[in-house]
Amino acid sequence: MAFMSRRKVCKFCENQVARIDYKDVRTLRRFITEQGKIIPRRVTGVCARHQRMLARSIKRARNIALIHYSLDVTQQ
Amino acid sequence: MRFYESIFVVHPAIEDNALDRVVDESIQLFEKRGVEEILYKEIMGKKRLAYPIEKQRFGTYVLIQFRSDGAGNGQLNRDLELKDNILAHLIVRIEENEVREEKAEPESESVETAEDQVEATVPEDKPVDDEVAEEPAEEAEPVEAEGEEPQVVEANDPQPEEAE
């Protein structure tokens, strides 16, 4: 059914992640949009605690150019 | 005594011996600023930068983990900022169990360290990541439009399958 989505469970909790590493670009990529925005947890289902850790890690990764701050998707 | 790690990006034209020299010079800076002990050093290799810095599209990432009381970190930050050939840098506090093995004190029971090492040595996908992978891509679009969806989901939760 189109309007019934699965219940969202925090992936980090499921895997008992104690810390989110800002160097782990593969994981961080999944929680940002193509433009580089952090995806809200209402969409991804991440719990509040992990969302805070995630946001911090994403910002750190941006700082050292591991992921982009923003990307103009209309260009290219 | 606290544990810190610093990651910095070296200019892509700096390679081999010159790179070692820049790294050594940087370590001297660390030591000058009250770093007690360098616990781990890794040249993570040349990578494409997500955005150009000082007109460079690539850079060599260097990771250094150290122990310090942290008092000199402000100065150290400035030193790195001013140092030639370093495009970007970051100093972050870490926990003891995040220190990667090498010269570090052996701690076998630490889950964190084990995870970090898998990541460092094997570029393959961790099973952990695989599952996370599908989530945002799949659900990003539908939810964007309607804000009330989460509540509906909660309510239906006990008996999720009602398909005919």
Query: Which of A4, A23, A69 is opposite residue B156, by nearest beta carbon?
Result: A4
What's the pLDDT at A76?
A: 59
Place of tokens 């809200």: A40
Q: Comparing C-alpha atoms, which of B73, B84, B96 is closest to residue B21?
A: B84
Domain check: are B66 and B28 in the same one?
yes
pLDDT-derived band at B1 (thresholds 50, 70, 90) equals confident
Domain check: are B16 and B50 in the same one?
yes
How many structural domains are present in chain B? 2
B128, closest residue in chain A (CA to CA): A15
Domain check: are B61 and B21 in the same one?
yes
Domain check: are B136 and B116 in the same one?
no
- Classify residue B49 by its DSSP letter: E
8 Å CB contact of B135 and A66: no
Alpha-carbon distances, residue B78 vs B27, B33, B72, B75, B81 (angstroms): 14, 11, 10, 5, 5
Q: Is residue B40 part of a domain?
A: yes
For every residue of chain A, which 3-state class applies, written as one string?
CCCCCCCCCCHHHHCCCCCCCCCCHHHHHCCECCCCCECCHHHHCCCHHHHHHHHHHHHHHHHCCCCCCCCCCCCC
What's the pLDDT at A73?
A: 83
Looking at beta carbons, which residues of chain B come within 8 Å of A11?
131-132, 135
Q: Does A23 touch chain B (CB under 8 A)?
A: yes
Q: Comparing C-alpha atoms, which of B159, B131, B38 is closest to residue A45?
A: B131
User: A11-63 has which CATH code?
Assistant: 4.10.640.10
Is residue B145 over pLDDT 70?
no
Measured between CA atoms, how close is A52 to chain B, in angstroms?
A: 16
Residuewise pLDDT in 10s, chain A (76 residues): 566 666 678 999 999 999 999 999 999 999 999 999 999 999 999 999 999 999 999 999 999 999 999 988 887 5
Q: Is residue B164 part of a domain?
A: no
In terms of residue numbers, what domain contains B150?
A: 127-155
Angle between the N-to-C axes of helices B127-145 and B149-156, in degrees from 0 to 180, rounded to the nearest 10: 120
Q: Is residue B161 part of a domain?
A: no
Looking at beta carbons, which residues of chain A come within 8 Å of B88?
63-65
Domain check: are B140 and B70 in the same one?
no
**Gap between the Cα atoms of A6 and B58, Å rounded:** 41
Phi and psi for B128 in degrees, rounded to 5? -50, -50
Interval A38-51: pLDDT, tens: 999 999 999 999 99
Interval B86-144: pLDDT, tens: 999 999 999 988 888 764 444 444 444 444 444 444 444 444 444 444 444 444 444 44
- Identify the CATH number of the domain in which residue B7 sits: 3.30.70.60
Domain check: are B18 and B57 in the same one?
yes
Q: Is residue B163 part of a domain?
A: no
Domain check: are B42 and B86 in the same one?
yes
